[in-house]
Structure 1
Amino acid sequence: MARKKSSDDLRSGAAEAGSSRRAPMREFSRSLPMSLLRAREAVMRQFRPSLRNHGLTEQQWRILRALTSVDQIEVTELARVAFLLGPSLSRILRDLEARQLIERKAAETDLRRAVVSISAKGMKLIEAVAPSSEAIYAEITRRYGARKLVELHEMLGALEMSLAGMTSADGAEVEADE
């Protein structure tokens, strides 16, 4: 009768299997993109319940938050600042518009382009979510430390700026946000 594999056996087997399939690069868990994704996930895990309680997805919240910082914005620019692909943004905007959280109209300079703005109802929703959001930020700040959080923001901004204008692997120049 075969014995059941222990977790030690599984780790040992994984290590053996991994040794023959080892890529000539840093450990997957130590790659910068994965570290950033893990940190983002840890942060967003704190905000998701509040957003869900208000009937919002992360992407919808990101759009509404972006719209609070402008009077109006062209859809293509909103996609850029909210880091969303056009097709996803179009679907999300349709939903937000149906819920009367945003307003969309043709751009004055080019009727083929659309501009969006947050509606009064959208602002009321932002105001309803804000206390919970700020409480979560306060708890993150308490746990991580105010100075470390400021330093993290500065370091991430510096990383972003240092990579601005760098040519990507496919030869396209990467633009920096202003």
Structure 2
Amino acid sequence: MKPADTAPSDADQDALLPRDTRRSLPIALLRAREALMTQFRPMLAAHDLTEQQWRVIRVLGERGTLDASEVADRAFILAPSLTRIIRTLEERGLILRERGETDGRRVMLSLTQEGLRIIAEVAPESRQIYASLEARFGAAWIADLLDRLERLSEFNEGSGEA
């Protein structure tokens, strides 16, 4: 047994993590996300939207009226951040916040007409970015990647087996 104050050997290091961060899955996923977001950020900035605000608007546009906790879950936003985003989007007239009919503690969110207008404005630009991705990588490759990422995102569900 090794004393706790000694550094791991090279063999121990190899067992713990890849030697090259380019082969680290979490880092590779972050790099890929950043590469994609550099395409989307200018479009969002032109509409005075942050990435997180757009995710909230997209989720509400796709699903309709939702409980705030479900929006946070679907948009991958932490509750404290969502509170700030809701306030901003409400002040801009893009979303409506109401108390739940049966449970006054629930916060229900929905898009306003102005929120729907923003989606209609941004969607064609977003589709152009997706079209350029498909032109570069192919629709089948993107569909396969999305399927694989969906499988990977289910890693923590159940036994963790992919």
- What's the TM-score once normalised by structure 1's chain length? 0.78
- The SS at the match of 1:104 is strand
5+ residue gaps, structure 2, are 1-8
Share of identical aligned residues, percent?
45
3-state SS of paired residue (1:147): helix
Q: Deviations over 1:48-84 (max 9, x none)?
A: 1010001100000000000011221111111111111
Question: Which residue number in structure 1 is paired with residue 127 of structure 2?
Answer: 134
C-alpha deviations, 1:74-130, integer Å up to 9, x for none? 111111111111110000110000000000000112101110001110000110111
2:121 maps to a residue whose letter is: A
Moved over 4 A (4+): none
Query: Tell me, which stretches of 5 or more residues in structure 1 are unaligned?
Result: 1-18, 168-178
SS in 2 for 1:100: coil
User: How many residues get paired?
Assistant: 148
Question: Which of residues 133, 150, 153 is equivalent to 2:143?
Answer: 150
- Larger-gyration structure (1/2): 1
Aligned partner letter, 2:52 = Q
Q: CA RMSD in A?
A: 1.8
**Structure 1 residue aligned with 2:33:** 40
Q: Aligned partners of 1:23, 1:41: CA distance in 2, in Å? A: 28
Specify the alignment match of 1:56 in structure 2: 49
Distance 2:78 2:120 in 1: 27
- AA aligned opposite 2:56: I
When normalised by structure 2's length, the TM-score is 0.85
User: Is 1:91 paired with 2:64?
Assistant: no
Helix, strand or coil at the partner of 1:112: coil
Q: Distance in 2 between matches of 1:111 and 1:44?
A: 37
- Distance in 2 separating the partners of 1:74 and 1:83: 14
Q: 1:66 aligns with which of 59, 63, 72?
A: 59
